[in-house]
Chain A
Amino acid sequence: MVGTPVLFIAIPLLAAFLIPLLGMIWKELVRIVPGLVLTYLLILAVNLLVHVLAHGPVVEVIAGWVPPIGINLVFSVFSGFLVTLMIFLGLLVWAYSYRFKRNVDYEPALKYFLMLMMLITGSVGIVLTGDIFNMFVFIEITSISGYGLTAFYKGRDSAEASFKYVLLGSVASTFLLLAIMIIYSQLGTLNMADIANKIHLMNPTLKIVSYIFFVTALGIEAEIFPLNGWAPDAYAEAPGPVGAAFAGIVVKASVYAIIRYTFTIFDLSGAFNFLIIIGMITLIVAETAAIRQEKLKRMLAYSSIGQMGLVLVAFGFGTEEGVFAALFLMLNHAIIKSLLFFSGSYLVYNSKCKYIKEVNGMSKFLPVTSLLFALGAFAIVGLPPFAGFWSKLSVMTAAADSNMILIMVLVLMVSVVELVYYLRVVNRIYFFKKETAIEPKKPTFNALVVMIVLGVIILAIGFYPDVVTGVLHKASASLMDKSQYIHHVLSLRQ
């Protein structure tokens, strides 16, 4: 047997609680244990994904309560792919931040890794769970650890960013609970498959209202405009690797939730167009806001928001091609944006305000980091032969096949804007003279290894996209096949 989905939640949760205890034995364990746990989970996830690719989804029943009464976890190709991606990114974030700041001593490191484990637990839980209230709990776990991680640095304005996150996060949880309760009061069940089965019985108005509440609540986490006010601040003030974790893990989980609600649970015909509209608005506003940013991490944050908008647009096509494109985008975004955050944090490492102009001339001091940042910038704007190109191509193909000419024009125009601000930064790194007296910081060995690994992945996908397209095709097929999802979960009743 290849392990069960529940391990992906139980083990990191257990590890999060054991970290302080183990720290009492040997302080270094605080840093080592998360890595071991994540490595183990990654092996587990890959094994399970291989198994699922061959034999179909694995449905885990918690504590013997069969659905629709009990909570169940579903490891399909779609959710399994995302879980694997998240755990992989979690591992990279761990490796990168193993000794991110030398002055971070035992106590903060303990908190950092504890909250990171919680963050991963929550996000993985969101993706795996088959129960909407359980999803609410995981979202809260993710958010609360997110608040903590955002406020990690005491010297900066991180508390302010975190407070905004708390404010919007609480509003999000209010709407989420409201939506859940509307559904429960109508259908008397919390199981996703069961709801999907019965959704046609629901009062149409209440159905729409609950969908809107769901999208609002999850949209706050998934950084949809105009719900994403917290995001730029949080990205800018959180430690660099946490920015990568937000972009790669938290947001992915929230987008997954929106997609699950739209594709599987609700049967609203207008929902896809709604996704396209809000995705487009998010894309346009975020990318155009990014071009005038003065701080590097804020720019990356807006770019990240914009990319998520594009992901929603691609999902909104509602075709299997669109889903494939969106998943490809999510994968590329996770990898490339992490690389940008990782290398970007070293480019402005010792600066207090992280202004873009402070990266001027950094290529002389940090050649490898600069090269990797440039690689990431080229990849994320979709220049061939790097990874981003293939996802952009698949988005465009999907759009053309859905006859979305206007969307194509807008997306491509926004791409030009994106191109401009990334190239401006890369130009600064390579061709400008260093102005400030800020001491550049050489990346630590493990950070360098992580960045190079990401760079190699970007090149690998760029030169040979077949390494991932097979899984992505299966994953998109598994999302599109709604009846099979319901069947797999509810057949456990017998």
Chain B
Amino acid sequence: MDNTLFGYLNYAVYGTAVLVILIGLYGTMVKKSLLKVVIGLSVSDSGLNLLIVAIGYYKGGTAPIFSPGFLENFKSVSKMVDPVPQALVLTAIVIGFGVTAVALALVIRLYRHHGTLNIDEIKNLKW
């Protein structure tokens, strides 16, 4: 029982992550306010990060942290979850942060220039 439940749970994590990504993309594509669009980008980033961490995780794994006396116990080393995705997520979070910052700065510029945050009204460049 434990096993199956955990299996479903595992998929549930993937499912949630994908759902969050899709919610973010939805916000990016549909919402008219620039701020909401930026939030949408952020949300899909978070979903992505969740997904990456979930990929590295496996059932009953422990945190990939070395502590004194840890290395002697080979079993506990093999029980660690994959550390690489977590490293990747750290990078991805930093990059996502940077992009969000740039996007927000641009939103401020756009607001000053156009006096509105409605994306439909900011269409000087077309065709």
User: B-contacting residues of A (Cβ < 8 Å)?
Assistant: 133, 137, 140, 143-144, 147-148, 151, 154, 157, 159-164, 166-167, 169-171, 173-174, 177-178, 180-181, 184-185, 188, 190, 232-233, 236-237, 293
Chain B interface SS verdict (over half)? helix
List chain A residues, Cβ under 8 A from B125: 157, 160-161, 164, 232-233, 236-237
Partner of B102, one of A148, A157, A160, A180: A148
How far is A34 from B28 in the complex, measured between Cα atoms in Å?
Answer: 37
Q: With A236-B125, A237-B125 in contact, do A151 and B98 touch (Cβ < 8 Å)?
A: no
Q: With A181-B51, A185-B55 in contact, do A144 and B103 touch (Cβ < 8 Å)?
A: no
Tell me whether B81 is interfacial, beta carbon within 8 Å.
Answer: no
Q: Most B CB atoms within 10 A — which of A144, A148, A185, A236?
A: A185
Q: With A137-B91, A163-B110 in contact, do A184 and B55 touch (Cβ < 8 Å)?
A: yes
**A166 B44 Cβ-Cβ under 8 A:** no
**A151 B48 Cβ-Cβ under 8 A:** no
How far is A102 from B5 in the complex, measured between Cα atoms in Å?
Answer: 68
List chain A residues, Cβ under 8 A from B107: 163
Q: With A160-B110, A166-B106, A237-B125 in contact, do A184 and B85 touch (Cβ < 8 Å)?
A: yes
Contacting residues of chain B (30-60) with chain A, CB-CB under 8 angstroms:
34, 37, 41, 44-45, 48, 51-52, 55
How far is A161 from B91 in the complex, measured between Cα atoms in Å?
Answer: 27
Q: With A160-B125, A181-B85, A184-B85 in contact, do A173 and B95 touch (Cβ < 8 Å)?
A: yes
**A157 B109 Cβ-Cβ under 8 A:** no
Chain A interface SS verdict (over half)? helix
Chain A residue with Cβ nearest B110 = A159
How far is A178 from B113 in the complex, measured between Cα atoms in Å?
Answer: 35
Tell me whether B80 is interfacial, beta carbon within 8 Å.
Answer: no
Interface residues on B, range: 20 to 34
B102-116 vs A, Cβ < 8 Å mask (1 yes, 0 no): 110011011001000
B93 to chain A, nearest CB (A): 11
List chain A residues, Cβ under 8 A from B113: 157, 159-160
List chain B residues, Cβ under 8 A from A185: 55
Contacting residues of chain B (3-46) with chain A, CB-CB under 8 angstroms:
21, 25, 28, 34, 37, 41, 44-45
List chain A residues, Cβ under 8 A from B84: 184, 190
Contacting residues of chain B (73-127) with chain A, CB-CB under 8 angstroms:
82, 84-85, 88, 91-92, 95-96, 98-99, 102-103, 106-107, 109-110, 113, 122-125, 127
Chain B residue with Cβ nearest A298 = B127
Partner of A144, one of B48, B55, B98, B122: B98
**A178 B103 Cβ-Cβ under 8 A:** no
Chain A to chain B: the 10 pairs with minimum beta-carbon distance, closest first? A159-B109, A233-B125, A157-B124, A170-B41, A185-B55, A140-B95, A163-B106, A166-B103, A159-B110, A147-B102
**B106 A162 Cβ-Cβ under 8 A:** yes
With A169-B99, A174-B45 given, name 17 new contacts (CB 8 A).
Answer: A147-B102, A159-B106, A159-B113, A163-B103, A163-B106, A163-B122, A164-B125, A166-B41, A166-B103, A166-B106, A167-B103, A170-B45, A174-B25, A174-B48, A178-B51, A180-B88, A232-B125
List chain B residues, Cβ under 8 A from A232: 125
User: A-contacting residues of B (Cβ < 8 Å)?
Assistant: 21, 25, 28, 34, 37, 41, 44-45, 48, 51-52, 55, 82, 84-85, 88, 91-92, 95-96, 98-99, 102-103, 106-107, 109-110, 113, 122-125, 127
Q: Most A CB atoms within 10 A — which of B25, B44, B102, B107?
A: B102
Q: Most B CB atoms within 10 A — which of A133, A163, A170, A293?
A: A170
**B110 A181 Cβ-Cβ under 8 A:** no
How far is A126 from B45 in the complex, measured between Cα atoms in Å?
Answer: 22
Chain A residue with Cβ nearest B38 = A166
How far is A406 from B44 in the complex, measured between Cα atoms in Å?
Answer: 41
List 27 A-B residue pairs with CB atoms under 8 Å apart, sorted by A's residue number. Answer: A133-B91, A137-B95, A140-B95, A140-B99, A144-B95, A147-B106, A148-B102, A151-B109, A159-B110, A159-B113, A160-B123, A160-B124, A163-B103, A166-B99, A167-B41, A169-B99, A171-B28, A173-B96, A174-B44, A174-B45, A174-B48, A177-B52, A178-B21, A180-B88, A181-B55, A232-B125, A293-B127
How far is A174 from B20 in the complex, measured between Cα atoms in Å?
Answer: 12
How far is A232 from B95 in the complex, measured between Cα atoms in Å?
Answer: 25
List chain A residues, Cβ under 8 A from B85: 181, 184
How far is A170 from B84 in the complex, measured between Cα atoms in Å?
Answer: 22
How far is A140 from B97 in the complex, measured between Cα atoms in Å?
Answer: 12
List chain A residues, Cβ under 8 A from B28: 167, 170-171
List chain B residues, Cβ under 8 A from A166: 41, 99, 102-103, 106
Chain B residue with Cβ nearest A164 = B125
